A = this chain, B = another copy of it.
Amino acid sequence: MLQPTNYFMHYSLHHIPERTQKPRQVGLTMVMDKGLSVRQVEDLLEVAGDYIDMVKLGWATSYVTANLKEKLAVYQSAGIPTYFGGTLFEAFIIRKQFADYQKLLDKYQMPYAEVSDGSIELPHEEKCKYINELSKQVIVLSEVGSKDAEKILAPYQWIELMQAELQAGAWKVIGEARESGTVGLFRDSGEVRQGLVKEIIHTIPSEKIIWEAPQKSQQVWFVKLLGANVNLGNIAPNEVISVETIRLGLRGDTFTHFLPKDLL
């Protein structure tokens, strides 16, 4: 665990937790792009490309961003998989346009797809059928949890849903938080539902879960609980560097977390 990493080696510090390297199966950082320009993507990759494992085009922003094709080309040439936000999947489903959605994935050669039901009512069996169907076409991420702050699932329900969706063919399951980090895994205030998370990982291997955690305090909490290589999602582009320092114990909040006792 506590070996120096050597990614950039501007300089060397002892006792830095080892990070997984690309292509990562764990230690994933999923970034939300809610309308970046081509140059902004290039800038992001210049600074933090090695720490970005996949990019979600937030909700249905891809419907209106004028530069969709050009932007996807930049991500693709950097070897970073992209996918449409789950809300877009839902927008097709509620309109009974699933076949159109499948064509869309082909048209843009999307390597991943997200299946969610955060804004629609979808019988779980049906959701799992979509997961299964899409998993024949792309790598599927499925999301559990509602965008509605009023709809609170009990831990055992989260677990049952996650298990069924993994079994249906999802590569990873995502714990919902929205862009804001105030629903699903979190309370209105952004505070983590700690009991819920601990209950989930008691049953589901944590490497199978991507935790949406847009707020710093949430990222810190997950790194402290699950280590440098926890999977984190809905990270804002300009927070990727911060998240990486939190993972490495190089921000105040996790500063002493990975250090051997004799240094404290």
Residues of A within 8 A of B (CB): 7-8, 10-15, 34-40, 42-44, 46-51, 59-69, 87-88, 90-92, 94-97, 100, 104, 107-108, 118-120, 147, 178, 238, 240-242, 244-245, 248, 250-252, 255-256, 259, 263-264
Contact = CB atoms under 8 A, between A and B. Distances in A.
Nearest to A260: B95
Copies of this chain, complex-wide, total 3
A241 B48 contact: no
A169 B60 CA distance: 40
A66 B47 contact: yes
Given A60-B245, A250-B63, A263-B94, A255 B87 contact: yes
B35 A48 contact: yes
Given A61-B241, A61-B245, A63-B245, A11 B107 contact: yes
Nearest to A94: B263
Contacts of A104: 11
B61 A242 contact: yes
A14 B251 CA distance: 45
Contacts of A50: 66
A251 B100 CA distance: 19
